[in-house]
């Protein structure tokens, strides 16, 4: 049985872009399990954009990440020891284990720990396409955009895990799907590997006029639904190209994560085009998780939902991998393997 746990702590709050100096790798002794607790050896850690928001003290939907404590994050792994009747050594589980190699989790807390069937799906999928990012994609598309066959759906950050799932779910519903991504390699993968109808490289169109023209060319019948992960100028360009009664699912605003201004200048079009925009936090939508996971799991198992994973080896490299994700290096779901 292990006696030492390696952990990544948040030790300072970033000003502007975060850096590796905001984190610290430490070793801590593993104590004795308490009653109802489960000791998990984490195999994969999920790296997600929302973590950047929690590094700040700014008011948000969740409390800031405390300084001097293990960074929060979703994990999948294997039970090593259990003092809870529902979990046994060898069980594969997912939960909020944090940026650490081992987690002692009170399994009585609602949603703290769930079993994962590694015989049906790859274990890492439970942190991506069949996990919180996948459910976020499903909820924003199915419940907010609610697309009809023949409509055009656009998704920003299309090469990220959420964006790739949104696009494939929309294609499965008979939509024309257009992605927005950064760089020719990402755009090529979105179209050729994932089946999007088109992808606009935002790096080629640095201003509102050129970006809106590129979207018009990719969406000849206008935009009916937009899944927003970025904000700022991209949202303005979509508003200019949107049809009357278009629907927007607001999932993320990456453009403003480091405190940069991300103004929207075309907001009046929401009124004149009678559009709907709705923000959501997927962990608050617990009622849809079973339905969403059933569809997502079935599609992954059948090979009908494709996704790309960027895997970094070793907990010591988690901070750098997190920064790479925020800066758009590589694509797909970002994971750290312990």
Whole-angstrom distance, CA of residue 104 vs CA of residue 316: 20
Indicate the helix (H) or strand (E) that contains 271.
helix 268-272
Assess contact for 223 and 238: CB atoms under 8 A: yes
Query: Domain 132-283 belongs to what topology?
Result: Rossmann fold (3.40.50)
For residue 327, give both structure tokens: 């800066």
Higher-confidence residue of 53 and 224: namely 224
pLDDT at 177 over 70: yes
Looking from the CA of 100 toward its CB, the CA atoms found within 13 Å total 25
Cα four-point dihedral sign 329, 75, 196, 198: negative
- Residue-wise pLDDT tens digits, 257-292: 566 667 788 999 999 999 999 999 998 898 999 999
Q: How many CB atoms lie within 10 A of CB 91?
A: 18
Distances in Å between the alpha carbon of 80 and those of 3, 28, 220? 12, 18, 56
What does the pLDDT average to over 128-157?
A: 97
Task: Return the SS3 of 273.
Answer: coil
Break the chain into its structural domains and give their ranges. 4-128+307-337, 132-283
pLDDT in tens, 283-334: 889 899 999 999 999 999 999 999 999 999 999 999 999 999 988 887 789 9
pLDDT value at 249 more than 70:
yes
Evaluate whether the domain defined by 4-128+307-337 bears CATH number 3.20.80.10: no
Q: Name the pLDDT band for 224 (thresholds 50, 70, 90).
A: very high
Whether 26 has a pLDDT exceeding 80, the answer reads yes
């Amino acid at each position: 049985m292990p006696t030492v746990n390696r952990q990544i702590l948040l030790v300072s709050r970033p000003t502007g872009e975060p850096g590796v100096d905001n984190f610290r790798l430490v070793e801590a002794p593993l104590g004795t399990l308490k009653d109802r607790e489960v000791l998990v050896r984490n195999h994969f850690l999920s790296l997600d954009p929302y973590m950047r928001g929690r590094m700040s003290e700014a008011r948000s939907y969740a409390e800031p990440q405390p300084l001097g404590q293990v960074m929060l994050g979703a994990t999948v792994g294997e039970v090593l020891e259990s003092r809870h009747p529902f979990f046994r050594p060898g069980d594969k589980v997912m939960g909020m284990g944090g940026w650490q190699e081992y987690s002692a989790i009170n399994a009585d807390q609602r949603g703290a720990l769930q079993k994962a069937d590694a015989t049906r799906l790859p274990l890492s999928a439970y942190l991506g396409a069949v996990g919180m990012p996948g459910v976020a994609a499903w909820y924003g598309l199915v419940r907010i955009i609610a697309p009809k066959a023949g409509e055009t759906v656009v998704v920003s950050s299309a090469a990220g895990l959420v964006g790739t799932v949104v696009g494939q779910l929309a294609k499965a519903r008979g939509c024309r799907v257009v992605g927005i991504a950064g760089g020719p390699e990402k755009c090529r993968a979105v179209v050729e590997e994932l089946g999007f109808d088109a992808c606009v490289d935002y790096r080629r169109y640095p201003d509102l006029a050129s970006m809106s023209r590129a979207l018009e060319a990719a969406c000849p019948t206008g935009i009916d639904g937009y899944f927003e992960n970025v904000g700022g100028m991209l949202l303005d360009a979509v508003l200019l190209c949107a049809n009357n009664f278009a629907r927007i699912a607001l999932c993320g605003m990456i453009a403003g994560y480091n405190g940069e201004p991300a103004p929207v200048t075309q907001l009046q079009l929401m009124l004149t085009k009678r559009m709907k925009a709705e923000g959501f936090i997927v962990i608050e939508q617990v009622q849809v998780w079973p339905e969403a996971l059933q569809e997502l799991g079935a599609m992954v198992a059948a090979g009908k939902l494709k996704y790309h994973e960027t895997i970094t080896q070793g907990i010591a490299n988690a901070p750098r991998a997190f920064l790479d994700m925020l800066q758009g290096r590589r694509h797909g779901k970002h994971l750290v393997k312990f």
